[in-house]
Amino acid sequence: MKLSEIAEFLGLEFKGEDLEIKALNSLSRASFDELSYCDSDKNAKNIAHCGAGAIIVGKKHENLVPKDMQKLISADPQLSFAYLSKLYAKPLISSEKKPNTIAKSAIIMPNVYLGSGVNIGENVVIMAGAYIGDNVSIGDFSVIHPNVVIYNDSQIGKKCHLLANCVIGSDGFGYAHNNAGEHYKIYHNGNVILEDFVEIGACTSIDRAVFESTIIKAGTKVDNLVQIGHNCIIGKNCIIVAQTGISGSSELGQNVIMGGQSATSGHLKIGDFTTIAARGGVSKSLEGGRVYGGFPIMLQKDWLKFQAKLANLFYKDLKTKE
């Protein structure tokens, strides 16, 4: 679309050089024929270094836009971006038919759906009922169990195990909200990358990134019923135990252990060789090499002392009342 057409669609004023906008992208990766947006002070520092041809910004940040970049001024840049993302969303089923590359040693059971442009390596096993979307690649010796869904553009490494009913590459949980409280979907055009030797448990869901990649690095093992949000990066050899929830844009270092029913808020980092005890709630970035627990998160040894003191106070109070 032309930038002038985008402005008209969004109901925004446009003055400047008209451009052909081929795609939407992040501030850090956008090129001259792409459009980006900025909706916060935190991201505003990246505007000066952005390579986009055009950007949607609020009045507050318009003075940060370089002279050679076109700008659309919006009262709510995120909401404008959400409206626009629908127009640039990739189709679920491609109209362009590409040939599939399937190794002769691969075993594909009945009732498997294969999209177009799929690449399946040597000795891969895909069990009944699996859905493999367009442009998916699956590395040698990987096993895809029954009813697994792998959405478009996902990359699965070598010797990975994806257990029954897990979902790889679903849309992230991202919405913008108008003044009436209505929610507008932000469409995600990124993908998911599972590196080699990754295992994903049954009924686990890993969301695709908005623009780039959600990445699970080599050797990581993810249990059943885990949710990993969009744009997350999970380091090598991590252990993610059942019913854990990792919010969008969280970054885990290598050999991080997340205990059962633990969780993170988004946009934080957990250092290498960290352990989060069961039901721990991570609300801030953490140094590596330590064991944490509780909520708000603290060192596990301090959490245990705190619980012991609470118990003592409780029982003393009971005895006094008796």
Exposed e or buried b for every residue in 256-272, given b needs 16+ CB within 10 A? bbbbbebbbeeebbbbb
- Which pair of tokens denotes residue 224? 């059943």
| Burial of 1 per CB tally in 10 Å (0-12, 13-18, 19+) | middle
C-alpha distances (whole Å) from 51 to each of 4, 34, 74, 207, 233 are 19, 9, 20, 27, 24
Q: Are strands 143-144 and 161-162 parallel, antiparallel or unpaired?
A: parallel
- Which pair of tokens denotes residue 282? 């991570």
Of the listed 49, 177, 230, 267, which one is catalytic?
230
For residue 296, cis peptide bond before it (omega within 30 degrees of 0)? yes
- The answer to whether residue 188 is catalytic is no
CB 156 within 8 A of CB 142: yes
Residues tagged active-site: 230
